[in-house]
Amino acid sequence: MPRKLIVDTDPGIDDAVAIFLAAASPELDLLGLTTVFGNCATAVATRNALILLDVADRPDVPVARGATDPVASTYLGAIPHIHGTDGMGDGGELPAPTREPVAESAAEFLCRTVAEHPGEVTILAVGPLTNLALALRLRPDLDTLVDQVVVMGGNALVPGNATPAAEANMLNDPEAADVVFGARWPVTMVGLDVTHKANLRGADLDRITAADTPAGRHLARALPLYRAFMERTNGLDGIYTHDPSEVAYLIDPTAFRTEAWPRRGRSGWRPRVSAAARRGPTSATPTTRPRPRGRTGRWSTCASTSTRPAWSTWSCAGSADRPGVVAVE
């Protein structure tokens, strides 16, 4: 039976590859996309999600628009030098999407869809974890109803990519990461330890972008900017497959080596306090959830606090009874 899947995403070029892979895989039953800020603002990410599903010929897959800011601060902003001002590599005008997102918010969509299939849904988060944290606030038992959460983000034994210490998705909402990694659901983190090893080489990319298919043509326009960035900054002939690696993990977990680890969340603090932080926690700030007994590892204290972490690393989630898992290769 195909695995029921919701992808929470900030498309984003590597998100686009991940979505095409998920949409085309018979092993996966794609129930919806939920969108979040990160590579671009949420409005752009939502439009891109709709366009990507048009390209993938999946009009059956709904898109729910998500949060526009982190749970306790404001969005750091887009990264147009990596993903383009349109989030899709600035490779030419994108077609207008043929439909609208659903009326539900991402958090509402997650809660309703998971509750309709208790114990069956995998949530794959390939952007900041804001929507998942907000969904937990809406429905505190959500973490007992999902099959598993798989996260693209964090870095266990390797440096960060957004700062020397932090991976981009975690940096974009460390408070949400604290909530999500502290919840009762099983979490598998597929972080930079994996994705910096899993490369699509230049020759692979050439084959993909030469394909005379809607997805091939879309990626032929989207990938060059991302590829040039990777070459310039990492000396790669090819790209790191951040988001597609997690889809690959769901299609064939045996291709990965995983280890159960105690979780380690850690954050540092900016000397300056943001305007949002000066106002203090708001109603949009999730309350810190009590952590079940039996947890191991050291945790940051960033949830519901009044300053924004300047950097953070997340190596794993878990507890004595429900170990977190980190995919390492």
Helix, strand, coil % over all residues of the chain, rounded to 5: 35, 20, 45
Query: C-alpha distances in angstroms, 36 versus 4, 124, 308?
Result: 20, 13, 19
Residue placing its CB nearer to Ca ion in the complex, 127 or 324 = 127
Residue placing its CB nearer to ligand BDR in the complex, 126 or 135 = 126
Residue placing its CB nearer to ligand BDR in the complex, 111 or 230 = 230
Give the whole-angstrom CA distance, residue 28 versus residue 60: 14
> Any catalytic annotation for residue 242?
yes
Residue placing its CB nearer to ligand BDR in the complex, 39 or 267 = 39
125 lies in the binding site for Ca ion (CB under 5 A): no
- Which of 8, 10, 86, 178 is catalytic? The answer is 10
Q: Among ligand BDR, Ca ion, none, what binds residue 171 when CB lies within 5 to 8 Å by partner kind?
A: none
Tokens representing 238 are: 């090819």
Minimum gap (Å) between residue 85 Cβ and ligand BDR: 15
DSSP string, 224-262: HHHHHHHHHHH--SEEE-HHHHHHHHHH-GGGS-EEEE-
Candidates 90-98, 121-129, 153-161, 245-253; binding stretch for Ca ion (CB under 5 A): 121-129
Residue placing its CB nearer to Ca ion in the complex, 28 or 45 = 45
Minimum gap (Å) between residue 243 Cβ and ligand BDR: 5
Amino acid at residue number 18? A
Q: Which of 32, 127, 160, 182 binds Ca ion (CB under 5 A)?
A: 127
Residue placing its CB nearer to Ca ion in the complex, 105 or 195 = 195
- Answer for the pair 308, 176: CB distance below 8 angstroms, yes or no: no
Taking the CA atoms of residue 89, residue 94, residue 100 and residue 105 in that order, the dihedral angle to the nearest 10 degrees is: 10
Say how many C-beta atoms besides its own lie within 10 A of residue 3's C-beta: 17
Tokens representing 186 are: 């099983």
List phi, psi (to 5°) of 316.
-175, 165
Beta-carbon contacts of 29 under 8 Å, excluding residues fewer than 6 positions away, are 2, 3, 4, 5
> Any catalytic annotation for residue 196?
no
Candidates 5-13, 62-70, 75-83, 256-264; binding stretch for Ca ion (CB under 5 A): 5-13
Residues that bind ligand BDR (CB under 6 A): 12, 14-15, 38-39, 126-127, 152, 161, 167-169, 242-243
126 lies in the binding site for Ca ion (CB under 5 A): yes
Q: Among Ca ion, ligand BDR, none, what binds residue 87 when CB lies within 5 to 8 Å by partner kind?
A: none
Minimum gap (Å) between residue 207 Cβ and ligand BDR: 22
- For 201, the 3-state DSSP assignment is strand
- Which of 83, 196, 218, 242 is catalytic? The answer is 242
Minimum gap (Å) between residue 11 Cβ and Ca ion: 7
Candidates 25-33, 87-95, 235-243, 320-328; binding stretch for Ca ion (CB under 5 A): 235-243
Q: Are strands 265-269 and 309-314 parallel, antiparallel or unpaired?
A: antiparallel
C-alpha closest to that of 8 among 138, 137, 130: 130
Minimum gap (Å) between residue 125 Cβ and ligand BDR: 9
List residues with catalytic annotation: 10, 242
* Residues found near Ca ion in the complex (CB under 5 A): 10, 12, 15, 126-127, 243
